[in-house]
Amino acid sequence: MFWIFLILPLSCSIVVFLFDKSAKKIYAITTLPSIFILWVTFAAVGSGYFKELQVFNTIKLTVTSILVLITISFSNIIPLLFQKKRIEGNSDYLDVKYMPAKLSNFFLSTFFFMILAITYFSYKRAGGVSSLMLDPRNYELTFGKYTVLNYVYFSSAVIALGFIERHYHKKSFINVFAICVLIACASLFGNKTSFLDLLIICMIYTYLRFSFNFTILLLPLISFILISVYFELVRGGGVIGISYYLTQGSLNFLYFLGEDKFYYIDPVSLIFRFDFLNSYLNDTFPLGFVLNEKYNTATSFFHLWAFGRYLSFFFVYFVYYTCCLNVNIRRPSSVFPVLPLMIAFVLFFFSFRIFMIKLIFLSIFGYFFARTIRRYDDISNKTDEIQPKSAIKI
């Protein structure tokens, strides 16, 4: 019976895809998966699944649960009614003096080898593969012990975009190899979000910059294989473990809705998150493992619900859709700053990341980095000239 409810999110998804005017439907692609995971979890719980995860407490599906899920689905649609057409940007390179190609290559290469060096020494210091397999939590903490080094390491997401952009203008095996190496380095960090951030940001930008091709299929395939190996060898559970991991946040969110308590998040604590591993939240926020001793995330949906109830969903999706409308895929400086926000919405089912300092850093770093990228097509032969203004409609 509860599976009938899936008709609503499916219908909403069709509407969003039809009327989304963002570049390559990026708004729909980044927001709908988390909403669908939430609805599938709701239907599965109502149909008697996931009982093995309800050890400490039992999820109660209430009228509030249904109303909140319906609100989330319609909140995803409402912004489309106010933005009738996407903002058309200008050319990639307007009034900007770009680096000569050699200097741009030096910039990319310097960061690339810095990230390699940090990965190697941090990996050795953390104890290597044995520590990763036997004590992944201690490995993660040891690997990421130094904050400054971490942020240089996090910049790999933006550097990977630089190689993708360079590959767009000048196809080369070196670019593809560098991207694969950066993804491999991210997988060694031990912190799952570091790997996911880099992988998702590469997938989104590859999708935006290129037409549909094998590479777009290859990245998700590689990610699925690596994640499956991690769950099989480190965390345990294999594919079933992955399904639990994808739905844990939704399960906890449904539990909180069923409790019908008034949870409150201090706005200051919500916005300013100074540690990439922890959320500094108000004491009344239900931290900890409420359903079992293994899964404890609460999803971004719960944070928004605790902060502003129904209206918070409308506001967040409206702001995000506005940002997506301003993305011009021919202008990297308009894309790079929004990509970390896209990561936050892709991972809405997993944790609250909108105001994460790491993603804010990537957004700012990405903006300035994008304005130094040298075009690698015939137009860029004049190395230090300001490109003329021209309006290119997408």
- Average confidence score pLDDT of the chain: 77
Distances (CA, A) of 112 to 142, 151, 372: 22, 13, 16
Task: Name the band, by pLDDT with cuts 50, 70 and 90, for residue 3.
Answer: confident
Per-residue pLDDT of 144-171, as tens digits, reads: 777 788 888 888 888 888 888 888 877 8
Name the one residue in this structure whose structure tokens are 């909180």.
Answer: 256
pLDDT at 318: 93
Per-residue pLDDT of 211-239, as tens digits, reads: 666 655 666 676 667 666 666 665 656 66
Give dist(CA 165, CA 206) in Å, integer: 9
Residues ≥6 apart with Cβ < 8 Å to 119: 153, 185, 188, 189
Q: Return left, alpha or beta for 238; rule: phi > 0 is left, psi -120 to 50 is alpha, else beta.
A: left
Most confident of the following: 79-88, 98-107, 202-211:
202-211
CB 330 within 8 A of CB 16: no
pLDDT at 230: 65
Exposure on the CB side of residue 296, measured as CA atoms within 13 A: 11
**242 is written with which tokens?**
């992955």
Residues ≥6 apart with Cβ < 8 Å to 263: 256, 284, 285, 286, 302, 305, 306
3-state DSSP: the chain helix, strand, coil percent, rounded to 5? Answer: 70, 0, 30
Percentage of the chain with pLDDT > 70?
73
CA angle 288, 291, 294 (to 5 degrees): 70
**120 is written with which tokens?**
């190697």
